[in-house]
Structure 1
Amino acid sequence: MWIVEPARAGDLEALLGLARITGSGFTNLPTDEAALAARLDWSTRSFSRDVEAPEDELYILVLRHSETGAVGGTGMIFSRIGARWPFYSYKLSQMSQACRELGRVVPLSLLNLVTDHDGASEVGGLFLHPDHRSAGIGKLIARARYLFIARHRARFGEKIIAELRGVSDEEGNSPFWDAIGRAFFGMSFPEADRFNAAHGSQFIADLMPRQPIYTALLPEAARAVIGQPHPKGKGALAMLEAEGFVQDNYLDIFDGGPTVTARTDRLRTVSAARTSVVARIGDADDAVPSLITAGKLLDFRAFFAPMGGGCLAAAPAAAARVLAGEEIIHVPA
């Protein structure tokens, strides 16, 4: 049985192993061991902090097998982006220019550098080992993040975003980066990707042009991928949209991938979450598959289990260390 719980310091090697198979553009899970260790430390301190409002916390969750302890995937939540430096995005906007003498109206698209998402929370870092992409396990760790938010609501903002990887080729090169970023930074996308993973994206904002960019001036290869997720991210985009996230023309300044947004309290899992007390452990005639969480912060656990009438199935309850009389938060699976 798989259970979602906070990452531990001892998970570094397992997370590093996942990072090595993510491919380019997955900056939330760097392959740099020191950078990843720093993120784990940041996460541990965040879980341990007593906070009344989101400041600058990172919560790393892992998918752990209840018997072997193996880590099969990970997901992350950033409590407040833009806390240490502005969080930049491109906003794709439209305008028209007209020439009466020629009788022409020309529609134009522009990329504007904005900080509209400062103060929002962010879900990211969702990655599942290829061996475990079945039986809805990906939905377990994806939705567990939203129940973590519901259980610790004061720690997160009113708005929440998710950035998806943009399109890159098999060698890790990004058409969007090659058309814009490479001219200003003198490095390839994989090189910039590694630097970004280790040091953050502020270096991009420092040197990226602040003036609007006319997309008509970009090569066709770059224009074609604006706002498009990496082929491996299409499933993640579908899950985000099912949760209530929408695309509203925000792009990652790094690779042009889509940034989706939502009101936190309107997320499907957050709004449907209900608090109950486990009446007893055992079988129930009206049991339905449910996503269940117990415990808070470092003791947080999330798992799938049949539940009905306050009765929780015995095997998953034992695996997740849930006892009768314990408070849980749950939603239909």
Structure 2
Amino acid sequence: MMIIRPLMETDAGALLNLAHKAGIGFTSLPADPERIATKIEASLAAFKDQVDLSSEQSYVFVLEDTHTEKVVGICGIESTIGLSTPWYSYRIGTLVHSSRELKVHNTFPTLYLSNDQTACAEVCTLFLDPDYRHSKNGHLLSKSRFLFLAEFSQRFEPKIIAEMRGVSDANGQSPFWDGLGAHFFDMPFADADRLTGLGKKEFIAELMPRHPLYINFLPKSAQEVIGQVHESTRPARKMLEDEGFRYHGYVDIFDAGPALETQVKDIRAVRDSKLCEVSVEDQVPNGTTLFLVSNTSLKGYRCTMAYLNTPVSGPLSISAALAKALHIKTGESLRTVPLFGPRP
């Protein structure tokens, strides 16, 4: 069975392995043992009883194959961003140049360095081992966070974003970086990406120009990737858009990947999820609808997928195997939502 659970100290080696598979451009999971140790420490601290929105809390989960006890995926949620260090993005805007006398009216798309997404929550750090990209595992990994948000919404800001990985090639070369960032930072994209992943962002404010940048001045190769995602990120973008996330013209300052956003309460899996009292049975008829199901525990959070028959009234019958996987007993509650909703 595939189970989502909170990150543990013993997962350090598995995370390093996933980081190597993710490669350059996956800023939130750099292949650096010290940074991974810091990530684990921060996640363990986030799952404490008291809520503190005055500081950033980083909740990290892993996908475990219980048959092999192998960690094969990672995902995370930040309670809020931009408080300890500035959160930078480019906002795509418009400048108008007009002359009534010459009867000329031109509009130009521009990039504005912005901190507009400060104090938003963020879904982040989504990566699934390529060997496990089947059987709807990607949907489980991504959407499991939404049941956690539904259960513990008081721990997160009401507005939430998802920063998508931008376009880069197999060697880690980014057309947007080569066309813009490289001129100001005088370093390869991989080095800038690594420094950001290590939390060293001061150089952005020190070196990035503050005035609007005309997109038309960029090389065609850089213009074409603004707001576009890495090939391997396309399924993740579609999945988020199906859940209600939308692109509103904010992009990453390094690779120009889009930032999608919505209100937590408007995420389909949050809005439509329900709490059900359960009854654990030895034999349960197979359901016809695939559900995302989770327990309601904070530190012992567990989430998986299961075919269920939801009752009109009374408790929800689940198998002993599912109850064991979710650490739940008869009389306790599960949070459920169909894995797939109606098309938006």
Is TM-score (shorter-chain normalized) higher than 0.5?
yes
Provide the C-alpha distance between the structure 2 equivalents of 1:278 and 1:58, rounded to a whole number of angstroms. Answer: 30
Q: Please identify, of 92-101 and 163-172, the stretch whose mean Cα deviation from structure 2 is larger.
A: 92-101
The residue type paired with residue 319 of structure 1 is A
Q: Answer yes or no: is 1:261 the counterpart of 2:248.
A: no
Structure 1 residue identity aligned to 2:308: M
Q: Give 1:212 deviation, angstroms.
A: 0.7
Q: Shift of the alpha carbon at 1:193?
A: 1.2
Provide the rounded CA distance (Å) in 2 between the counterparts of 1:154 and 1:228.
32
Residue 319 (str. 1) matches residue 320 (str. 2): no
In the other structure, the counterpart of 1:174 is 174
CA displacement at 1:319 relative to structure 2:
2.9
Which amino acid is the alignment partner of residue 304 of structure 2? F
What does residue 143 of structure 1 align with?
143
- Does 2:302 correspond to 1:296? no
The 1:145/1:202 distance shift into structure 2, 3 A limit, reads farther
Distance in 2 between the 1:134 and 1:10 partners? 26
Q: Distance in 1 between matches of 2:69 and 2:260?
A: 33
TM-score by length of 1: 0.95
Deviations 1:206-239 (A, max 9, x none): 3211111111111111111111111111111100
**Cα distance in 1 for residues equivalent to 2:46 and 2:82:** 16
Residues 1:57 and 2:63 aligned together: no
SS of residue in 1 equivalent to 2:24: coil
* 1:83 equivalent in structure 2: 83
**Taking structure 2 as the reference length, what is the TM-score of the superposition?**
0.92
Alpha-carbon distance between aligned partners in 1 of 2:107 and 2:10, rounded to the nearest angstrom: 54
Within a 5 Å distance, the mapping from 1:274-313 to structure 2 comes to 274-281=274-281, 282-284=283-285, 288-308=289-309, 309=311, 310-313=316-319
**Cα–Cα, structure 1 residues 286 and 218, in superposed 2: closer, same or farther, change >3 Å?**
closer
Cα distance, 1:266 vs. partner? 0.3
How far residue 280 of structure 1 moved from its aligned partner, in angstroms, is: 3.2
* Aligned-residue offset at 1:200: 4.0
Match of 2:342 in 1: none
Q: Could you tell which deviates more after superposition, 223-232 or 304-313?
A: 304-313
1:1-333 maps to which residues of 2 (within 5 A)?
A: 1-51=1-51, 53=53, 55-281=55-281, 282-284=283-285, 288-308=289-309, 309=311, 310-333=316-339
Alpha-carbon distance in 2 for matches of 1:67, 1:322: 19
Aligned-pair identity (%): 38
Tell me, in whole angstroms, the C-alpha distance in 1 between the residues paired with 2:100 and 2:19: 56
Query: What 5-or-longer segments of structure 1 have no aligned partner?
Result: none
Letter in 2 for 1:173: Q
Query: Following the alignment from structure 1 to structure 2, what is the Cα–Cα distance between the partners of residues 206 and 245?
Result: 32
The secondary structure found in structure 2 opposite 1:131 is helix
SS in structure 2 of the partner of residue 299 of structure 1: coil
User: Which sits farther off after the overlay, 28-37 or 278-287?
Assistant: 278-287
> Which amino acid in 2 is paired with 1:292?
V
**Hey, what's the Cα distance between the residues in 1 that align with 2:71 and 2:123?**
19
Letter in 1 for 2:189: F
2:220 alignment partner AA: E
Q: 1:202 to 1:162 in 2, by over 3 A?
A: farther
Letter in 1 for 2:290: P
Q: Secondary structure at the match of 2:198?
A: helix
Q: Gaps (5+ residues) in structure 2?
A: 340-344
Q: What's the offset of the Cα at 1:126?
A: 0.6
Which range moved further: 5-14 or 275-284? 275-284
User: Structure 2: how far apart are the matches of 1:202 and 1:268?
Assistant: 37
Which portions of structure 1, spanning 4 or more consecutive aligned residues, are displaced by more than 6 angstroms? none
- CA displacement, residues 268-302 of structure 1 (integer Å, 9 cap, x when unaligned): 01001111110333414766321110142220000
Which amino acid in the other structure matches residue 321 of structure 2? A
Q: Cα 1:97–1:14, aligned 2, differ >3 Å: closer, same or farther?
A: same
Aligned-partner Cα distance in 1 for 2:233–2:290: 27
